[in-house]
């Protein structure tokens, strides 16, 4: 019983030691109850010392926080006082500004209205100079005008008489330079993006030329760029005026100017003949192929009929029948049937003439068919092109008239191609048919003459 009580006391003491001190390690083992009590006592002493240190530190921090709070309140009070003083100074300065502004208005008088007109004029001139090609030759003019406008709108600065006179000078210079044709050097970019210094010809305020080519002026970057496509024969004289030193030279200009010029843009954007031909697409290619075939066939038949007509003409002058021409072969049949009666001879000659007709008229019917089919193919291409155009309008709408006009123009290309094939084909067919009929007429005339001689000999 005593042993159990002793064990219980040891257990309670150990639990109390663990609860009171977390610093007692699990590996520290008391050899006896006395040692355990001593360990608990030492732990309590260490904890009390640590707690006192913490309490001292907390009190010190609390005192510091109180000092900091007092300093913050003092700073706040000082800033509030400073804010009140600044507000009072601001009100006083506002009154001084109002008084100074009123004094300025009184002293300016009619000059204020003058500055308003000058500001409006300077603004219009700045906008004009920004887009003027004269600025390529005389850069930096708009910077002065911007500074002048800033001064005229300022309440602390006034423009001088010299600056106002320079505004008038720039206005007059722009007008005078717009009527001159001058040469100067500037950096020009070619379509590949390569930049080089070239001699540039400025035609008034309309166009810029260099090396016989038209240039465009980029207003935003202030750079000169060679047009990727030149207007060609529409606007001649670019190279001539580049080489001219005096006198008058004919040259085409765009009166709307290089910065967004509508005339020059329309000329360079106009498709060439080859580009228009490609607009016909598959149907256009077919029409072109048919037309080329018709021309080759017509040339071949022209050579054949010309040679055949020459041989027939020689046969008419000869008394001997030759089998290298239609008339000779017909006369040969007449010679072979001299003993036949008139009716038999007539039938023989008619048969011989009919045999020659396919050789004489070969290919003429095909030319006639091509002359009729070519316009129909052109109409087919136009109809299919219009269908595609209207489908695009259905999907994207009709907000862009240029796109509609471009689609309709491309669709009409096949009609033009069809007519370009049909018209010469009809003329060639008519011409060749006439040559063939002349040969056939000679054959029929000679056959009728032989029959007549046969009838008279009876």
pLDDT digits (tens, 9 = 90+) for 132-142: 888 888 888 88
Residue 41 located in a structural domain: yes
Q: In this structure, what DSSP letter does residue 208 have? A: E
27 — pLDDT class (breaks 50, 70, 90): very low
**For position 399, what pLDDT does the model report?**
64
What's CA 248's distance to the chain center, in Å? Answer: 36
The arithmetic mean of pLDDT across residues 58-68, rounded, is: 83
Give pTM, 2 decimals: 0.54
In terms of domains, do 153 and 300 share one? no
418 — pLDDT class (breaks 50, 70, 90): very high
Residue 96 located in a structural domain: no
In terms of domains, do 122 and 193 share one? no
Residue 24 located in a structural domain: yes
Could you list the residue range(s) of the whole structural domain that residue 202 is in? 182-245
Selected residue with higher pLDDT from 50 and 402 = 50
For the ranges 26-30, 299-303, 443-447, the maximum mean pLDDT occurs at 299-303
Residue 69 located in a structural domain: yes
In terms of domains, do 166 and 189 share one? no
In terms of domains, do 401 and 288 share one? yes
CA distances from 162 to 144, 145, 165 (A): 12, 13, 5
CA distances from 24 to 8, 11, 32, 188 (A): 20, 15, 16, 90
In terms of domains, do 348 and 217 share one? no
One-character DSSP codes across 3-70: HHHHHHHHHHHHHHHHHH-TTS-TT---SSHHHHHHHHHHHHHHHHHHHHHHHHHHHHHHHHHHHHHH
Selected residue with higher pLDDT from 346 and 419 = 419
* Model confidence at 36: pLDDT above 50: yes
Q: Are 283 and 381 in contact (CB under 8 A)?
A: yes
* Model confidence at 236: pLDDT above 80: no
In terms of domains, do 350 and 417 share one? yes
The arithmetic mean of pLDDT across residues 391-407, rounded, is: 70
Selected residue with higher pLDDT from 393 and 297 = 297
C-alpha closest to that of 227 among 253, 188, 263, 272: 188
SS3 (DSSP) at 438: helix
Selected residue with higher pLDDT from 324 and 7 = 324
In the listed set 156, 177, 198, which residue is the last one of a domain according to the structure? 177
In terms of domains, do 311 and 402 share one? yes
The arithmetic mean of pLDDT across residues 250-254, rounded, is: 77
In terms of domains, do 161 and 222 share one? no
Return the percentage of the chain with pLDDT > 90, whole number: 14
In terms of domains, do 228 and 359 share one? no
Residue 217: strand pairing partners: 224
Q: Taking all residues of the chain, what is their mean pLDDT, rounded to a whole number?
A: 80
The arithmetic mean of pLDDT across residues 320-331, rounded, is: 84
**For position 434, what pLDDT does the model report?**
92
In terms of domains, do 431 and 311 share one? yes
Residue 450 located in a structural domain: yes
Residue 116 located in a structural domain: yes
In the listed set 177, 212, 229, which residue is the last one of a domain according to the structure? 177
How buried is residue 87: exposed, middle or buried, by Cβ count under 10 Å (0-12/13-18/19+)? exposed
**For position 258, what pLDDT does the model report?**
56
In the listed set 225, 245, 265, which residue is the last one of a domain according to the structure? 245
Q: In whole angstroms, what is the distance from residue 44 CA to residue 153 CA? A: 84
How buried is residue 317: exposed, middle or buried, by Cβ count under 10 Å (0-12/13-18/19+)? exposed
111 — pLDDT class (breaks 50, 70, 90): low
* Model confidence at 323: pLDDT above 80: yes
3 — pLDDT class (breaks 50, 70, 90): very low
Residue 103 located in a structural domain: no
Selected residue with higher pLDDT from 71 and 218 = 71
Q: Are 241 and 227 in contact (CB under 8 A)?
A: no
One-character DSSP codes across 107-125: HHTTHHHHHHHHHHHHHHH
Selected residue with higher pLDDT from 263 and 49 = 49
19-23, 41-45, 189-193, 244-248: least confidently modelled range: 19-23
* Model confidence at 118: pLDDT above 50: yes
Q: Are 162 and 230 in contact (CB under 8 A)?
A: no
Q: In whole angstroms, what is the distance from residue 215 CA to residue 209 CA? A: 6
In terms of domains, do 371 and 430 share one? yes
Residue 94 located in a structural domain: no
* Model confidence at 8: pLDDT above 80: no
* Model confidence at 61: pLDDT above 90: no
* Residue appearing with tokens 């032989």: 450
Q: Are 213 and 198 in contact (CB under 8 A)?
A: no
In terms of domains, do 169 and 197 share one? no
**For position 179, what pLDDT does the model report?**
84
Based on the structure, what is the number of domains in the chain? Answer: 4
């Amino acid at each position: 019983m005593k042993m159990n009580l002793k064990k219980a006391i040891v257990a309670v003491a150990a639990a109390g030691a663990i609860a009171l001190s977390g610093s007692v390690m699990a590996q520290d083992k008391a050899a006896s109850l006395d040692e355990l009590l001593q360990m608990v006592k030492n732990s309590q002493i260490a904890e009390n010392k640590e707690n006192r240190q913490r309490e001292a530190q907390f009190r010190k921090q609390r005192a510091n926080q109180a000092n900091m709070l007092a300093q913050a309140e003092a700073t706040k009070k000082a800033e509030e006082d400073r804010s009140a003083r600044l507000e009072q100074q601001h009100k006083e300065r506002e009154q001084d500004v109002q008084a100074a502004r009123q004094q300025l208005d009184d002293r300016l008088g009619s000059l204020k209205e003058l500055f308003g007109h000058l500001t409006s004029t300077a603004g219009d001139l700045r906008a004009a100079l920004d887009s003027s090609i004269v600025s390529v030759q005389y850069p930096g003019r708009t910077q002065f005008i911007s500074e002048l406008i800033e001064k005229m709108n300022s309440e602390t600065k006034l423009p001088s008489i010299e600056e106002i006179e320079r505004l008038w000078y720039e206005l007059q210079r722009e007008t005078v330079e717009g009527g001159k044709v001058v040469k100067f050097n500037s950096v020009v970019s070619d379509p590949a993006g390569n930049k080089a210094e070239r001699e540039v010809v400025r035609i008034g305020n309309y166009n810029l030329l260099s090396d016989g080519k038209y240039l465009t002026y980029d207003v935003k970057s202030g750079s000169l760029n060679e047009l990727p496509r030149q207007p060609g024969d529409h606007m001649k004289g670019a190279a001539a005026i580049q080489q001219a030193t005096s006198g008058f030279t004919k040259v085409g200009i765009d009166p709307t100017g290089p910065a967004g010029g509508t005339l020059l843009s329309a000329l360079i954007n106009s498709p060439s003949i080859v580009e228009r031909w490609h607009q016909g697409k598959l149907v256009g290619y077919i029409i072109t192929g048919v037309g080329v075939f018709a021309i080759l066939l017509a040339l071949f038949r022209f050579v054949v009929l010309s040679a055949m007509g020459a041989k027939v003409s020689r046969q008419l002058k000869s008394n001997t029948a030759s089998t290298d021409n239609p008339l000779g072969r017909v006369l040969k049949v007449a010679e072979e049937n001299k003993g036949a009666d008139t009716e038999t001879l007539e039938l023989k000659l008619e048969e011989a003439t009919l045999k020659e007709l396919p050789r004489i008229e070969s290919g003429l019917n095909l030319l006639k068919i091509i002359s009729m089919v070519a316009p129909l193919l052109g109409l087919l291409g136009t109809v299919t092109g219009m269908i595609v155009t209207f489908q695009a309008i259905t999907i994207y709408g009709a907000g862009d008239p240029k796109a509609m006009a471009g689609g309709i123009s491309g669709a009409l290309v096949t009609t033009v191609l069809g007519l370009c094939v049909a018209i010469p084909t009809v003329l060639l067919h008519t011409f060749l048919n006439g040559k063939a009929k002349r040969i056939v007429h000679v054959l029929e005339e000679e056959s009728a003459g032989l029959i007549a001689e046969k009838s008279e000999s009876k």
